[in-house]
Amino acid sequence: MISGLGFATPIFAIFLISHIKGGSIEVAGFAAAIYWIFESALMIPFGKYLDKNPGEKDDLLFIIVGNSLAALATFGFIFSSLPWHVYVLQAIFGIGMSMNIPAYTAIFTRHIDKGKEAYDWGFRGSLISMGTGISGALGGIVAQSFGFKILFVSSGIFIILSAFFLFFISKEMANKDRNMVSPVCPEIKTLQPPAPKE
């Protein structure tokens, strides 16, 4: 998914200025603000909701729906021509990512290797940075050679695939609904005081 997003993100402002009627640096700023406002405002309530519902099926569903919304917004940019079109799509994009982020990090945290937390998070961060960097370069080449429509189609396909691949682990996630114990936070067993002697 991050690779899919990386295709368009670095050059999105260029798209707004060159392909959106009335597009400007100001429009790019408002588009970014709308995305971040929706993402930041909804992540906390979504996270609280997921914490109240034990198990991972709901987390997986949130990721699938969130990725699908992000893909929908990406495909929508192909047909956008006015600033308000972009603003609506950025709101949808923000909602999708606000569903993805708390759900994904919750699953990742539960399955992290005990004693290798820093390494695992670092490895994840390294892969994300690498994927974003490579896809950013490829996105520039695609946009320059074939245009922004092909770029957004490619990006949307990557994001849709990221949602589709999750179905392959859905059974494993479903099994985690019962007696799930986090490897990072093992189950705490309380000691009962001995019964008083009569």
Instruction: Write out the CATH class of domain 2-175.
Output: mainly alpha
Q: What is the pLDDT of residues 81-97, one digit of tens each?
A: 999 999 999 999 999 99
The model's confidence at residue 183, banded by pLDDT at 50, 70 and 90, is: very low
Residues 148-159: what's their mean pLDDT?
A: 88
CA distance 51 to 41: 17
Helix (H, G, I), strand (E, B) or coil at 28: helix
Query: Closest Cα to residue 15, out of 73, 93, 81, 92?
Result: 81
C-alpha dihedral sign at 53, 58, 63, 66: negative
> What does the pLDDT look like over 47-74, one tens digit per residue?
999 998 877 888 989 999 999 999 999 9
Helix ranges restricted to H, the chain: 2-8, 12-19, 25-52, 57-76, 83-110, 117-146, 148-164, 170-175
DSSP tag of 11: G
Cα distance between residue 177 and residue 165, in whole Å: 20
Q: Over 60: is that where the pLDDT of 197 sits?
A: no
pLDDT over 70 (residue 187) = no
Is residue 99 scored above 70 in pLDDT? yes
Q: What is the mean pLDDT of residues 127-153?
A: 86
Q: Is residue 41 pLDDT above 90, yes or no?
A: yes
pLDDT of residue 194: 52
- State the chain's mean pLDDT as an integer: 83
- Ordered by start, the domain boundaries in the chain are 2-175
Q: Which pLDDT belongs to residue 113?
A: 85
CB 83 within 8 Å of CB 23: yes
Quote the tokens at residue 198. Answer: 């009569």
Taking Cα atoms as reference points, which of 95, 90, 93 lies closest to residue 28?
A: 90
